[in-house]
C-alpha cells in the first residue's frame, strides 16, 4: 500500500482545523495528517493535535516557508495539500490524489473554478484575480490549466523532492503551477466542490497586496523560465522606439541632406544599442537555462533511481 501524507499549512484556523483533520481521518484512515502551525495566535495547534494530527511548528512566517519545510521533512508516495480553512471537501481531495496514485499525473490540481467557486466566494476581486492569473500563465506558457491558484493539490514523491521552493507566501501555488509547466511534469485536473469559509473564519489573504506579489512572481518566473522570450519582447519594444525616433530624421535627411535633430538621433541610437544588448542577454540566458534543464533532468533521474532501490 502506498504511503499517503495529508499536508495542512495553518495560521489561526481554530474554528475549522478540527473538521479538516476529522474529515480526512474518515475518508483516508491510512493517511498521516500533518498540520504545520505557522505561529498561530489561537489554539490551532492544540485542537489539531487533539483531533489526531501530527503537529509541527514552522516559525518562518508565510505559506511558502511552510511548504518548503513540509516537502523537506515528510516522506511519502503521495502528498495531498489542502488549506486548513475547511473549504475543500476531503472526499474531493482524495479524488484528486487518486490521479497521482494511479500514475496519471505528477501533480494533480483540484479545479474549483469549474464548479462552485464563483458562487461560494463572495470576494469579487479574488474572482477577478484568479481569472487574470489564469489568463496570464496560460498565455505565457501556452497551457490550458483551469485553476492556477487552487489550494487543493496532490503530488508524487518525484515532484515534491525536486521542487525548489522560492516563494515565501501565498504565491507558492502560482510557483508550483509554472514550475510543473516548465519542467514538463504530467499535470492532472479534477473538478472539485468549493465552499466558502464558515462564519467567523477570516481569510488571511490581502486581495491587493498578495495579488501584486503573485503578479510579480509570474513576471520573475517568466524571466527565469523563458529568458529569450522575455528579453526578446523588451528588445522589440526598444527597437520600435528607436525606429520611431529615427524614421523622421532619416526622411528629413533624404529631403534636405541635413540632420537637424542630433539629440534625437543620439537617443534613437541609444535605444538601438539597448535593444541589441537585451536580445544578446536573452540569447545567453536561454543557453544557461537549457543547460540548467539538463542538470535538472539528471537530478530527476537520481531521485527516481534512489526511490527504486
Encode pLDDT of 1-52 as tens digits: 799 999 999 999 999 999 999 999 999 999 999 999 999 999 999 999 999 9
Residue 15: what pLDDT? 94
* pLDDT above 90: residue 199: no
pLDDT class of 97 with cuts at 50, 70, 90: very high
pLDDT class of 123 with cuts at 50, 70, 90: low
Q: Which of 153, 152, 227, 212 is nearest to 185 (CA)?
A: 153
Start-to-end Cα distance in the chain: 17
Q: What is the rounded CA–CA span in Å between residue 142 and residue 227?
A: 15
Higher pLDDT, 137 or 115: 137
pLDDT > 70 in the chain, percent: 92
Residue 304: what pLDDT? 78
**Cell triple for residue 101?**
496514485
* pLDDT above 90: residue 299: no
Higher pLDDT, 53 or 132: 53
Q: What is the rounded CA–CA span in Å between residue 87 and residue 15?
A: 12
Average pLDDT of span 104-111: 96
Average pLDDT of span 131-140: 90
What does the pLDDT look like over 207-220, one tens digit per residue? 677 778 888 989 99
Residue 204: what pLDDT? 65
Residue 158: what pLDDT? 94
Higher pLDDT, 203 or 133: 133
What's the pTM?
0.85
Evaluate the CA torsion angle 13, 48, 119, 95 in order and state its sign.
Answer: positive
275: phi then psi, degrees, rounded to nearest 5: -65, -45
Choose the most confident range, by mean pLDDT, from 2-11, 167-176, 190-199. 2-11
Q: Which of 38, 82, 84 is nearest to 57 (CA)?
A: 38
Q: What is the rounded CA–CA span in Å between residue 203 and residue 81?
A: 18
pLDDT > 90 in the chain, percent: 71
Average pLDDT of span 181-197: 92
State the DSSP code for 206: -
Q: Report yes or no: 33 and 21 within 8 Å, Cβ to Cβ.
A: yes
What does the pLDDT look like over 218-255, one tens digit per residue? 999 999 999 999 999 999 999 999 999 999 888 888 88
Average pLDDT of span 276-282: 97
Q: Where would I find the beta strands (DSSP E) of the chain?
A: 4-10, 32-37, 54-57, 78-81, 107-111, 153-156, 187-191
Q: Nearest 10 degrees: CA dihedral of 107, 108, 110, 113?
A: 80
Amino acid at each position: 500500500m502506498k504511503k499517503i501524507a495529508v499536508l495542512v499549512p495553518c495560521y489561526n484556523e481554530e474554528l475549522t482545523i478540527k473538521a479538516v483533520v476529522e474529515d480526512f481521518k474518515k475518508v483516508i484512515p491510512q493517511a498521516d495528517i500533518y498540520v504545520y502551525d505557522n505561529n498561530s495566535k489561537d489554539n490551532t495547534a492544540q485542537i489539531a493535535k487533539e483531533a489526531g494530527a501530527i503537529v509541527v511548528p514552522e516559525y518562518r512566517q508565510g505559506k511558502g516557508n511552510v511548504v518548503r519545510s513540509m516537502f523537506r521533512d515528510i516522506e511519502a508516495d503521495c502528498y495531498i495539500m489542502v488549506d486548513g480553512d475547511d473549504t475543500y471537501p476531503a472526499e474531493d481531495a482524495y479524488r484528486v490524489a487518486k490521479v497521482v496514485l494511479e500514475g496519471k499525473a505528477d501533480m494533480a490540481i483540484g479545479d474549483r473554478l469549474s464548479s462552485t467557486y464563483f458562487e461560494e466566494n463572495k470576494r469579487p476581486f479574488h474572482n477577478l484575480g484568479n481569472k487574470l492569473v489564469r489568463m496570464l500563465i496560460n498565455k505565457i506558457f501556452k497551457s490550458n490549466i483551469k485553476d492556477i491558484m487552487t489550494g487543493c493539490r496532490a503530488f508524487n514523491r518525484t515532484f515534491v523532492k525536486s521542487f525548489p521552493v522560492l516563494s515565501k507566501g501565498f504565491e507558492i501555488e502560482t510557483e508550483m503551477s509554472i514550475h510543473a509547466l516548465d519542467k514538463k511534469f504530467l499535470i492532472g485536473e479534477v473538478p472539485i466542490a468549493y465552499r466558502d469559509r464558515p462564519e467567523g473564519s477570516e481569510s488571511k489573504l490581502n486581495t491587493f497586496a498578495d495579488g501584486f506579489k503573485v503578479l510579480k512572481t509570474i513576471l520573475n518566473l517568466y524571466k527565469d523560465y523563458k529568458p529569450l522570450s522575455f528579453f526578446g519582447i523588451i528588445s522589440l519594444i526598444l527597437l520600435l522606439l528607436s525606429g520611431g525616433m529615427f524614421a523622421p530624421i532619416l526622411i528629413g535627411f533624404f529631403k534636405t541632406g541635413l540632420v537637424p535633430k542630433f539629440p534625437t538621433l543620439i537617443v534613437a541610437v541609444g535605444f538601438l544599442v539597448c535593444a541589441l544588448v537585451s536580445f544578446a542577454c536573452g540569447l545567453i540566458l536561454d543557453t544557461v537555462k537549457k543547460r540548467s534543464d539538463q542538470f535538472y533532468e539528471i537530478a530527476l533521474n537520481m531521485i527516481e533511481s534512489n526511490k527504486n532501490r
